Amino acid sequence: MTFLNWVFPALVLYFLSLTPIFSFSTETPNGVSEIPKKFLNLAKKSEVSDWMVNIRRQIHENPELGFEEFETSRLIRAELDNLGISYKYPIAVTGVIGSIGTGKPPVVAIRADMDALPLQEMVEWEHKSKVPGKMHGCGHDAHVAMLLGAAKLLQEHRDELRGTVLLIFQPAEEGSGGAKKMIDAGVLKNVDAIYGLHVHNDLPIGEVATRPGPLLAGSGFFNAVISGKGGHAAIPQHSIDPILAASNIVVSLQHLVSREADPLDSQVVTVAKFQGGDAFNVIPDSVIIGGTFRAFLYESLRQLKQRIEEVITGQAAVFRCNATVDFLEENPLFPPTINNKELHGHFHQVAGNMLGVHNVKEMQPLMGSEDFSFYQEVIPGYFFFLGMRNNTRGNLPSMHSPYFQINEDVLPYGAALHASVALTHLLQHQSKILLAERKHHDEL
């Protein structure tokens, strides 16, 4: 045996054995199986789980809308300071980027969104929102708490990281494209991959659901003003009725999917806002309508955008009205969320080792959208749903509902999954490099 044939196998085993707590080795049948289980056990300990619950409740009581998450950001930075984790702030107004590990490649990112919704919370409990008209009705308060939980787990084992984990606390996911502004600020520089999650009210706790390839649709928003001529409802011939025009526009917009879209290319156009008039006997001067459009292909999104404007302006003209359409350019089109297939294999292994392979479900694509997709346009990314339903407590209300609730038992699962996919991603990346070098020198 030559010196090189001996030294490279030894180096591989040396680097992979520098994780005394987890005893990680790619050359054993178990692979990374012990890391997720041990992280989950650590996350379930009261000093970690109670700490996450307290953070989540503080954020829930003080919800902030997109790009207004100043107090949420302040809390995050205070907790990172307490953990001894370095960070950069501000990024994209309120964003925070923490860093754990060597500060050198390889680099993997894990992400949480911070913003709330413009909803009045209807759940009566001790930690109800203190801000009228604002509520964490989509679980982002839990996402922040879980990412901080992962930060705590990883920081306690930072000496075992073979690279760097970035903690991305992102503003303005709810329609404002905060992820794109984070990317424009350079947060993905040198990052090899990114993972994200979302709580799910219909999945049992201890289950995850996801899929390789298309997971969520791309989306856009529109707002239109249809202007006519107001007048007395009893003499409509003296008016130009924008309500009649808008009503026909709503019906015509539905034909874009039923008559123009390929039935195998899933699309949605929904008018969710219709505002016009406030008296029984007065035809108003104008009507405002607005809504969203969704598709899994970016070209289909662009086509829908073009046809929505054509239908609104054209139908308005038929009824002698004028129309202006605003696609809210400050809120860019969200791309479809498409999971990287290689990362799917890694996530499936990690989640299966933690929860059991029978609790890792492959789901059908959904027409919901998620601005995590902006990250996936730049680097390999992976997104999954984390169940939190406890059958003994009954069903949980759906997301974006004023009655939405979090089962706080989910927090350790999210923290452990975040930490596990990040740590094992770095370890496997390092092992691939060393094994490739070993093969190269064996060939020499």
Q: Which residue has the tokens 């809504």?
A: 291
In contact, 184 and 95? CB cutoff 8 Å: no
Nearest to 372 by CA among 193, 222, 203, 207: 193
In contact, 186 and 101? CB cutoff 8 Å: no
Indicate the DSSP class of residue 158: G
In contact, 259 and 200? CB cutoff 8 Å: no
156 known member of a binding site: no
Q: Specify the amino acid at residue 246.
A: A
321 known member of a binding site: no
Structure tokens at 390: 């406890």
Contacts of 2 (CB under 8 A, 6+ apart): none
Residue 91: alpha-carbon gap to chain centroid:
18
Residue 328 main-chain phi, psi, to 5 deg: 50, 60
Query: Bridge partners of 275?
Result: 288
Distance CA 389, CA 280 (A): 46
Q: Specify the amino acid at residue 60.
A: H
Distance CA 210, CA 361 (A): 7
Q: Specify the amino acid at residue 322.
A: N
Nearest to 318 by CA among 230, 257, 242, 253: 242
Structure tokens at 272: 């969710």
198 known member of a binding site: yes
Give the angle subtended at the CA of 85 by the CAs of 351 and 422, to the nearest 5°. Answer: 20
Helix (H) / strand (E) element for 289: namely strand 286-295
Distance CA 57, CA 128 (A): 9
In contact, 380 and 192? CB cutoff 8 Å: yes
Structure tokens at 92: 């994209």
Contacts of 72 (CB under 8 A, 6+ apart): 59, 62, 64, 94, 114, 144
In contact, 354 and 233? CB cutoff 8 Å: no
Under DSSP, is residue 216 helix (H, G, I), strand (E, B) or coil? strand
174 known member of a binding site: yes
Residue stretches of the annotated binding site = 138, 140, 174, 198, 400
Residue stretches of the annotated binding site for Mn(2+) = 138, 140, 174, 198, 400
